[in-house]
């Protein structure tokens, strides 16, 4: 049996920042991560991190842009706190050693990003996430904490009305173990692999969100799924919004810069939901290229600028699409990119379960509301990762020692081992592929009521089939078949919550676009969806949105 004051699950930016804050508060901290920390999806972030530090920019403009971008579903008290923390957070990361790109004046360089009135996205070429992750990892490495690397969270243990710890599975040895903790921070990142066409890494399977849901935590606003406008046509690899920030433009088969119709003021730099819908509409109305896609053109920017500011994008285009962005247009279509929803928390990272905290993409505070602005997510991991770490440490300070109840680890082991003992049953990879196809086909950029009902029927049928999921590989070392089965079970739970929330929300707001309810309905739907797990599926309730200074207006770009 292992025991710590604070256990942080996830070693991306949110998890590492939470761990650093808890260590600095003097607690005995452990990080549990299914990947090596530097392999976390945070390292794939390209375009940058927002902070209103430019002389002509202001924190208030950042707040306003975020509120508007959220389509007025973001909590304004949280957004104000978030934007105020941006400058100090970026400076701190710079002091930790992040090598940001700089302008000719030696100041931090910044580029325009979608939906923002000012170029406030600070970057390290097109490898911002990796630069931040590396610097934070080096900083955290100077502190003492325990790292359970390549361990998978399988269950959050809740008893006597509080968190008692977690159960995790050691991939390298195939053993299960209980880790008792007074506070647990869920920082397990994205769930994008619920979809097939996604920019998210294969590891982004929403494990921590599902574990929290199974433990009784409320999930918030799960129906809001962001589609990034520019994912490479075949692979779905992200082409950062920074490419348009640097001046890239979108064109249809007629050579028209079509964004002038959809966002006459800011064109290609409208917010992501707006641009994704525009691309989708162009293709559906027959103005896409044969096979269904549009072009992103960078050629007019010149080789020097493209190759220095968008180095990784050049590699992706050349290696995965066979085009050279210096001389050729890039074929793109939108792809799933980000979950605005997650484990519901307040500004302190607290959930509805005492001792359970969440931060980063796995959490929903909510600052992104119905649509996230690019560059706000890296910032969120650091701002709210730190808050969650501080408050998890404070909770551990007051809380009494916890135990993992006797027999629970054995029960979990038997449950999961049972998947390997079946003589026949469902292969997890087939269930996963069918789930992804269902979500791609029926729960996309535009949502039709009949499609959503059909999606729910299919997801529930997959959940029933999952009851007899079978792991064929009996090996105990790096059993990918087993982790595939566990992850697929998590994602099926989340897919159901996404679809149920989308069926219930009879309006269009941000990334949730219902063809039968095309307008935003502030009278009935200015509220957060909260989903609680019951034996018969998710039970929805609603929570108010926090307002401070910004009255809802029609959102035009
Ligand atoms: C391609 C791409 C580009 C992006 N670019 C930008 C950008 O330019 N700017 C921006 O603001 N945002 C960007 N985003 C979004 C942003 O990068 C993410 O939202 C953010 O980095 C998530 O950080 P995180 O710490 O919450 O999760 P992650 O960095 O994904 O870390 C999750 C951690 O949880 C661990 N974990 C997961 N499941 C388990 C489990 N069962 N047991 C144990 N450990 C587990 C993993 O090992 C990992 O360490 C981008 C996202 C993608 C996919």
Structural contact between residues 152 and 174, judged by C-beta atoms closer than 8 angstroms: no
Question: What is the per-residue pLDDT for 171?
Answer: 95
Measured CA to CA, the distance from residue 57 to residue 116 in angstroms comes to: 11
Handedness of CA 227, 230, 233, 234 (dihedral sign): negative
Query: Which residue, among 13, 17, 14, 11, has the nearest Cα to 36 in the 3D structure?
Result: 11
Q: Residues with beta carbon inside 6 Å of ligand 1?
A: 9-15, 32-35, 37, 40-42, 44-49, 128-129, 152-153, 187-190, 199-200, 203, 207-208, 238, 240, 338, 360-362, 374-378, 381
Measured CA to CA, the distance from residue 239 to residue 237 in angstroms comes to: 7
For residue 92 the two structure tokens come to 């701190």
Question: What is the per-residue pLDDT for 117?
Answer: 85
Helix (H) or strand (E) holding 278: helix 272-284
Residue with tokens 């779905």: 236
Secondary structure of the chain: what % helix, strand, coil (to 5)?
A: 40, 20, 40
Pocket test for ligand 1, best of 156, 166, 189, 271 (most atoms within 8 A of CB): 189
Residue 242 CA, closest ligand 1 atom number: 8
Measured CA to CA, the distance from residue 242 to residue 269 in angstroms comes to: 10
CA of 204 to the centre of ligand 1 (A): 7
3-state DSSP assignment of residue 365: coil
Give nearest CA residue, ligand 1 atom 35.
10
Structural contact between residues 47 and 103, judged by C-beta atoms closer than 8 angstroms: no
Measured CA to CA, the distance from residue 96 to residue 93 in angstroms comes to: 5
Give the DSSP letter string of 316-382.
HIIIII---TTTSPEEEEEEEEEES-EEE--TT-B-SSTTEEE-GGGEE-SSSTTSPPTTHHHHHHH
Measured CA to CA, the distance from residue 200 to residue 204 in angstroms comes to: 6
Query: Which residue, among 52, 121, 135, has the nearest Cα to 92 in the 3D structure?
Result: 135
Residue 377 CA, closest ligand 1 atom number: 11
Handedness of CA 88, 91, 96, 101 (dihedral sign): positive
Give the DSSP letter string of 393-409.
HHHHHHSPP--PPTTHH
CA torsion angle 329 334 339 341 (round to 10): 130
One pLDDT digit (tens) per residue for the chain, 557 residues: 899 999 999 999 999 999 999 999 999 999 999 999 999 999 999 999 999 999 899 999 999 999 999 999 999 999 999 999 999 999 999 999 999 999 999 999 999 999 998 999 999 999 999 999 999 999 999 999 999 999 999 999 999 999 999 999 999 999 999 999 999 999 999 999 999 999 999 999 999 999 999 999 999 999 999 999 999 999 999 999 999 999 999 999 999 999 999 999 999 999 999 999 999 999 999 999 999 999 999 999 999 999 999 999 999 999 999 999 999 999 999 999 999 999 999 999 999 999 999 999 999 999 999 999 999 999 999 999 999 999 999 999 999 999 999 999 999 999 999 999 999 999 999 999 999 999 999 999 999 999 999 999 999 999 999 999 999 999 989 999 999 999 999 999 999 999 999 999 999 999 999 999 999 999 999 999 999 999 999 999 999 999 999 999 999 89
> Is residue 244 flagged as an active site residue?
yes
Backbone phi, psi, residue 134, to 5° = -60, -45
Structural contact between residues 178 and 187, judged by C-beta atoms closer than 8 angstroms: no
CA of 447 to the centre of ligand 1 (A): 26
> ∠ CA(143), CA(29), CA(480), 5° rounding?
105
Measured CA to CA, the distance from residue 506 to residue 148 in angstroms comes to: 44
Residue 192 CA, closest ligand 1 atom number: 53
Q: Enter the DSSP assignment of 282.
A: H
Which three-class secondary structure string do you get for 462-520? HHHHHCCECCCCCCCCCCHHHHHHHHHHHHHHHHHHHHHHHHHCCCCECCEEECCECCC
Helix (H) or strand (E) holding 388: helix 376-398
Measured CA to CA, the distance from residue 347 to residue 466 in angstroms comes to: 36
Cis peptide before 366 (omega within 30 of 0): yes
Q: Write out the E strands in 146-186.
A: 146-149, 151-159, 162-170, 175-186
Beta bridge partners, 181, equal 4
Handedness of CA 193, 195, 196, 201 (dihedral sign): negative
Question: What is the per-residue pLDDT for 1?
Answer: 80
Pocket test for ligand 1, best of 377, 380, 389, 482 (most atoms within 8 A of CB): 377
Measured CA to CA, the distance from residue 304 to residue 267 in angstroms comes to: 24
Handedness of CA 165, 166, 170, 175 (dihedral sign): positive
Residue of 120, 155, 228, 337 marked catalytic? 228
Helix (H) or strand (E) holding 356: strand 356-358
Measured CA to CA, the distance from residue 484 to residue 461 in angstroms comes to: 19
Measured CA to CA, the distance from residue 545 to residue 247 in angstroms comes to: 35
* List of residues 6+ apart from 415 with CB closer than 8 A: none
Measured CA to CA, the distance from residue 18 to residue 357 in angstroms comes to: 10
Measured CA to CA, the distance from residue 290 to residue 495 in angstroms comes to: 31
* List of residues 6+ apart from 76 with CB closer than 8 A: 63, 67, 545, 546, 547, 548, 549, 550
In this structure, the chain runs to a length of: 557
> Is residue 228 flagged as an active site residue?
yes
Residue of 244, 391, 490, 528 marked catalytic? 244
Structural contact between residues 136 and 93, judged by C-beta atoms closer than 8 angstroms: yes
Measured CA to CA, the distance from residue 86 to residue 94 in angstroms comes to: 12
Give nearest CA residue, ligand 1 atom 9.
375
């Amino acid at each position: 049996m292992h025991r710590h004051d604070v256990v942080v699950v996830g070693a991306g930016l949110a998890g590492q920042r939470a761990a650093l804050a808890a260590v600095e508060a003097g607690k005995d901290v452990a990080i549990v991560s299914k990947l090596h920390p530097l392999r976390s999806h945070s390292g794939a972030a390209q375009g940058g991190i927002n902070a209103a530090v430019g002389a002509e920019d202001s924190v208030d403009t950042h707040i306003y842009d975020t509120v508007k971008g959220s389509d007025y579903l973001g909590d304004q008290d949280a957004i104000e706190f978030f934007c105020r923390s941006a400058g100090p957070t970026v400076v701190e990361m710079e002091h930790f050693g992040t090598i940001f790109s700089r302008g000719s004046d030696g100041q931090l360089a910044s580029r325009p990003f979608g939906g923002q009135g000012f170029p406030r996205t600070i970057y390290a070429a097109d490898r911002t996430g990796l630069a931040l992750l590396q610097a934070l990892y080096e900083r955290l490495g100077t502190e003492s904490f325990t790292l359970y690397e390549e361990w998978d969270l399988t269950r959050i243990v809740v008893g006597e009305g509080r968190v008692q710890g977690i159960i995790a599975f050691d991939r390298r040895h195939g053993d299960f173990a209980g880790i008792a903790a007074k506070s647990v921070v869920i920082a397990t990142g994205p769930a994008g692999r619920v979809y097939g066409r996604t920019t998210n890494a294969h590891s982004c399977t929403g494990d921590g969100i599902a574990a929290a849901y199974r433990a009784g935590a409320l999930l918030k606003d799960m129906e809001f799924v962001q589609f990034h406008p520019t994912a490479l046509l075949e692979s779905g690899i992200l082409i950062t919004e920074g490419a348009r920030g640097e001046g890239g433009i979108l064109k249809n088969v007629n050579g028209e810069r079509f964004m002038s119709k959809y966002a006459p003021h800011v064109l290609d730099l409208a917010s992501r939901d707006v641009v994704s819908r525009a691309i989708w509409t162009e293709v559906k109305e027959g103005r896409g290229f044969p096979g269904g896609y549009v072009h992103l053109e960078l050629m007019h920017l010149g080789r020097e600028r493209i190759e220095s500011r968008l180095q990784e994008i050049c590699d992706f285009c050349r290696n995965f699409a066979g085009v050279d962005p210096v001389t050729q247009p890039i074929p793109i279509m939108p792809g799933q990119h980000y979950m605005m929803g997650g484990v519901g928390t307040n500004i302190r990272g607290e959930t509805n379960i005492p001792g359970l905290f969440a931060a980063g993409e796995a959490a929903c505070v909510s600052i992104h509301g119905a649509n996230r602005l690019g560059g706000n997510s890296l910032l969120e991991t650091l701002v709210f990762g730190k808050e969650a770490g501080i408050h998890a440490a404070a909770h551990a300070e007051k809380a009494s020692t916890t135990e993992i109840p006797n027999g629970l680890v054995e029960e979990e082991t038997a449950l999961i081992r049972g998947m390997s003992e079946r003589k026949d049953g469902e292969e997890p990879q087939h269930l996963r592929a069918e789930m992804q196809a269902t979500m791609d086909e029926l729960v996309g950029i535009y949502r039709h009521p009949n499609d959503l009902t059909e999606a729910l029927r299919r997801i529930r049928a997959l959940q029933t089939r999952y009851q007899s999921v079978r792991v064929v590989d009996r090996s105990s070392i790096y059993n990918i078949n087993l982790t595939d089965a566990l992850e697929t079970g998590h994602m099926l739970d989340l897919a159901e919550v996404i679809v149920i929330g989308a069926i219930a929300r009879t309006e269009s707001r941000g990334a949730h676009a219902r063809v039968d309810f095309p307008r935003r309905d502030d009278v009935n739907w200015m509220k957060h969806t909260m989903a609680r797990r019951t034996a018969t599926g998710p039970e929805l309730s609603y929570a108010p949105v926090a307002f401070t200074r910004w009255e809802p207006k029609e959102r035009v770009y």
